[in-house]
Amino acid sequence: MEPQGERIRAFVAMRVSEEVEAALAEFIQKLSSPRDGIAWSRPDKLHITLRFLGAAVDPALLAPLKEALARIAGQTPPLLVRTCGVGGFPDLRHPRVLWAGLECDRLGELAAKIEDAAVAAGFEPSRRPWAPHLTIGRVRNPHRIRRAVRLLKEAHDRDFGVSRIAEVALYRSRLAPEGAEYERLAAFGFSSPV
């Protein structure tokens, strides 16, 4: 449903394949333990964020952005994205975010086009350079994460598989105590390979 007037939390993202989601879910299950100080991502919520738009987005900015996303998607063939490697931001000594890495030659180019489209639609430029990753957990208590960090270091080059991704979507996010809920506002299919 299209938001009318109220400001929303929104982002542009892609989903990985069910097989990669399942591999990541198994990995997260091995890493997690009760009261480990980490809010782990649910497998059905995993996504590749290409552009976080903001926590209080004016819905009027979404119409020109959607037009641009449709144009970009129509010029983009499906992507093969490998999910491999794990780590933390800013690093594993003092992580705030735990991630699985992404490999795809054209992924950075797509993110740059979406960044340009967002700025042209009226959004502020991103403050940080885009980094290809899937967030698998957020550190809530850094004093309880020793076991998870040790296991992440041991699995630093783990391969979770390849996803064939054929669309990009605009999402609304609602924060809740039990975790964020995502609503897909619009999806834009990539062009068929020539």
Residue 24: name the closest of 84, 104, 97, 105 by CA.
84
- Model's pTM, two decimal places? 0.91
Sheet holding 48-57, edge to edge: 48-57, 8-14, 167-174, 181-189
**Candidates 47, 94, 143, 156; catalytic one:** 47
Determine the residue type at 31. L
Catalytic residue check, 143: no
pLDDT in tens, the chain (194 residues): 455 578 999 999 999 999 999 999 999 999 999 999 999 999 889 999 999 999 999 999 999 999 999 999 999 999 999 999 999 999 999 999 999 999 999 999 999 999 999 999 999 999 989 999 999 999 999 999 999 999 999 999 999 999 999 999 999 999 877 778 899 999 999 996 64
DSSP string, 36-104: -SEEEPPGGG--EEEEEEEEEE-GGGHHHHHHHHHHHHHT---EEEEEEEEEEES-SSS-SEEEEEEE-
DSSP state of 122: T
Report the distance separating Cα 150 and Cα 36, nearest Å.
13
The answer to whether residues 50 and 12 touch, using CB atoms and an 8 Å cutoff, is yes
Superfamily of domain covering 8-171:
Cyclic phosphodiesterase (3.90.1140.10)
Determine the residue type at 126. S
Catalytic residue check, 94: no
The answer to whether residues 71 and 112 touch, using CB atoms and an 8 Å cutoff, is no
* Phi then psi dihedrals of residue 117, to 5 deg: -65, -40
Domain residue limits, the chain = 8-171
